[in-house]
Amino acid sequence: MIDRLPQFRLRGLVFLAIVVFSVPLFISNPFHYGLATQIALIAGAVVGLNLLVGFAGQISLGHAGFFGLGAYFSAIMTSTYGWSAIPALVVGAIAVAIVAWVVGRPILRLKGHYLSMATLAVGFIIAIILNNERETTGGPDGMPVPPFDVFGWELSPFGQYSLFGLDISGDLAWYLFAGIVLLVAVWLAQNLIDSPIGRALRSVHGSEVAASVVGVNTAKYKSLVFVISAVYASVMGALYGHFQGFITPSVASFDFSILLITMVVLGGMGSTIGVIIGAVVLELLPQVLADFQEMEMVLFGLILMLTMIFMPKGLLPTAASFLAKRRSKSAGGDA
Amino acid sequence: MTALVEVNNLSKAFGGVHAVEDVSFSVDAGQVYSVIGPNGAGKTTLFNLITGLYVPTGGEVKLNGESIAKLEPNQLAERGMCRTFQQMQICMNMTAIENVMLGRHLTLKSSLLTTLFRLPALTRGEKAAREKSAELMAFVGCGEYLDTEASAMSYGALKRLEIARALAAEPKVVLLDEPAAGLNAVETAALEDLIRKIAEQGITVMLVEHDMKLVMGISDRLLVLNYGRVLAEGTPEQIRENPDVIAAYLGG
Ligand SMILES: Nc1ncnc2c1ncn2[C@@H]1O[C@H](COP(=O)(O)OP(=O)(O)OP(=O)(O)O)[C@@H](O)[C@H]1O
Ligand SMILES: [Mg+2]
């Protein structure tokens, strides 16, 4: 056992791949594909946020700000300046990384409520800028975003494509693309977690003094994970904009930041698959409870509160430990 | 020869409490050096000052002749200093062996790209770190816990795990703050054995401990603190015969 590295991470990834690729067997209408695509992209951002919140134990109540920055950067570069989508996405991610690093250095020295307030402020400032810069962003009315393109080849939800001789509708193509992006996002996150850098990140959560006395520069790692999670949000935001074809500053709103955090907390901080489940549940809930539209924020706030009180570890870890207990109980009964 | 750890007129006050006052002593490489004294004497505060967790209100600490005044704990780790804590500091969000592998942090330099794409260099480093960590866990006597979640381990096993983590950093000097606290007689005997073995490897050990039998048996020199001040300093024989110590501490 010593000579083999444990490979728990792969199980989650394989499970997720199976789910992602079997979804098209159960749905076919464009609305459902649209919803599934949106869930996959938001889940990708949540996986990134979980690196910061679940693994490194820091908080960001302004993460939608980075999602919005990525979305708007790509939108503006592709529509106003005629860039291709991929360079826009990459340069946007680099720009967001720089912003996150510059604001992260000072605010990550703060702890608890102070850090919450500071990140909240970062999100607000970004949202205000997007609202006010009417000339470039279209202000509160939003702006159209050209379809995603690769070397002149466009991916649009309304297109028709053929892959290996199979006819594929635009919505399905977008869904598969978003699903693969999510799988890559999860694979990268899991690689990160299960590495020396990942241990350093988790030790910042587990015991900051223990980390520092074995040589971990905790300030550096907090900044690093803040930047990485911001880049996740930026990339997913950019793709989200291209997919929707139109964005408004709501992508950077406080409400959306809270939704992202609620997904992490509900699904299970520090569980990559768990937080994806959190994203799925909280994206589907408003669909099921369409009548509650007005009450959405109240509902999410309630879920956040109830989870923290009754299920602080979140859905998946709680279920897992429940099952483990049942199993060990029945194993004990056999003995 | 310069001392490995040199403490000059070190003081630390918390408001009106003089937790450590005008303390001076030096530790040579290879020694087992113990700090004893009644509860609240300032032993932990002294360790926190030496390891850079507290900023002194006066005096200085030198590691290998270099003042540590401007150094963070992680920079002291780079210079070969590591420690354990009286209030155990274990990452409960990790497995046992991951805690020890965390101790290998400074020897495991991997770039972000190597990490994200899990390139072969990373896997090689991880395997080596895992083997080394498993060895250390066996060495301190918690080898059976490898992939156990730290949160599921007993108090005694966690105390040993913390020592394994400190050793994983390959320190020149390791500071152990009350490693025997809460251990039973058998575990304490095993701990004494372990500290001897650590010292035999050439690692300098600084020890805070209340267990007199343990301390007198393994220390080369001792420092006795009382109300933050040095009451006595010397070999175990000298300390045992020191009238001040007998009056204030051992006798009391
Ligand atoms: N962070 C702190 N803030 C305020 N006072 C402190 C702090 N740390 C220690 N003290 C005080 O300094 C004094 C020395 O405490 P310290 O923990 O160093 O003693 P100790 O010798 O380690 O005791 P013990 O044997 O109980 O561990 C005590 O009076 C304690 O209350
Ligand atoms: Mg103490």
Q: Spell out the domain ranges in chain A.
A: 2-294
Residue B243 CB neighbour total at 10 angstroms: 9
Give the SS3 label for residue A46.
helix
Supply the pTM of this predicted model. Answer: 0.93
Confidence of residue B176 (pLDDT cuts 50, 70, 90): very high
Which domains, and CATH codes, for chain B? 1-80+171-252 (3.40.50.300), 92-168 (no CATH)
Select from B115, B118, B147 the Cβ nearest to the Cβ of A6.
B147
Write the class of the CATH domain A2-294: mainly alpha
CB atoms within 10 A of CB B226: 18
Q: What is the pLDDT of residues A147-175, one digit of tens each?
A: 999 877 888 888 888 777 788 888 999 99
**Contact A200/B at CB under 8 A:** yes
Q: How confident is the model at residue A313 (pLDDT cuts 50, 70, 90)?
A: confident
Q: Do A2 and B131 touch (CB under 8 A)?
A: yes
- Give the pLDDT score at A7: 66
Does residue B134 register a pLDDT over 80?
Answer: yes
- DSSP lists the bridge partners of residue A167 as A162
Short-list B143, B78, B125, CA closest to A197: B125
User: Angle at CA A300, nearest 5°, toward A296 and A302?
Assistant: 115
- List, as ranges, residues 68-97 from B with C-beta within 8 Å of A: 72-74, 76-78, 81-83, 85, 89-94
Predicted pLDDT of residue A202: 97
- B-chain CB neighbours of A196 within 8 Å are 101, 104-105, 108-110, 115, 125-126, 129
pLDDT surpasses 50 at A335: no
As for ligand 1, residues whose beta carbon falls within 6 Å of it are: B 14, 17, 19, 37, 39-45, 86
Over range A221-243, report the average pLDDT: 98
- Does A7 contact chain B (CB < 8 Å)? no
Kindly tell me if the per-residue pLDDT of B121 is higher than 80.
Answer: yes
Cα angle B147, A17, A92 (rounded to 5 degrees) comes to 95
**Residue A198: closest C-alpha in chain B:** B115
**ipTM > 0.90, yes or no:** yes
pLDDT reading at A47 higher than 50: yes
Strand partners, B175: B83, B206
How many A×B Cβ pairs under 8 Å? 118
Residue A186 clears pLDDT 50, i.e. is over it = yes
- CB distance from B105 to chain A under 8 Å? yes
In sequence order, the 6+-apart residues with CB closer than 8 A to the CB of A60 are A49, A52, A53, A119, A122, A123, A226, A229, A257, A261
**Which has more pLDDT, A293 or B179?**
B179
Range name among A255-269, A320-334, B131-145, B189-203 with the lowest pLDDT average: A320-334
Can you list the positions of beta strands (E) in chain B?
5-14, 17-27, 32-36, 58-63, 66-67, 81-83, 173-177, 204-208, 221-226, 229-234
Of A48, A54, A38, A41, the residue nearest A100 (C-alpha): A48
State the DSSP code for A123. H
CA–CA gap between residue B62 and residue B235 (Å, rounded): 22
Q: From the CB of residue A116, how many other CB atoms can be counted at a distance below 10 Å?
A: 17
Supply the angle between the helices A315-334 and A272-288 in degrees, to the nearest 10. 120
C-beta separation of B179 from B5 below 8 A: no
Per-residue pLDDT of A74-128, as tens digits, reads 999 999 999 999 999 999 999 999 999 999 999 999 988 999 999 999 999 999 9
Q: Tell me the shortest Cα–Cα distance from B252 to chain A, in angstroms.
A: 35
Contact criterion met (CB below 8 Å) for A79 and A245: no
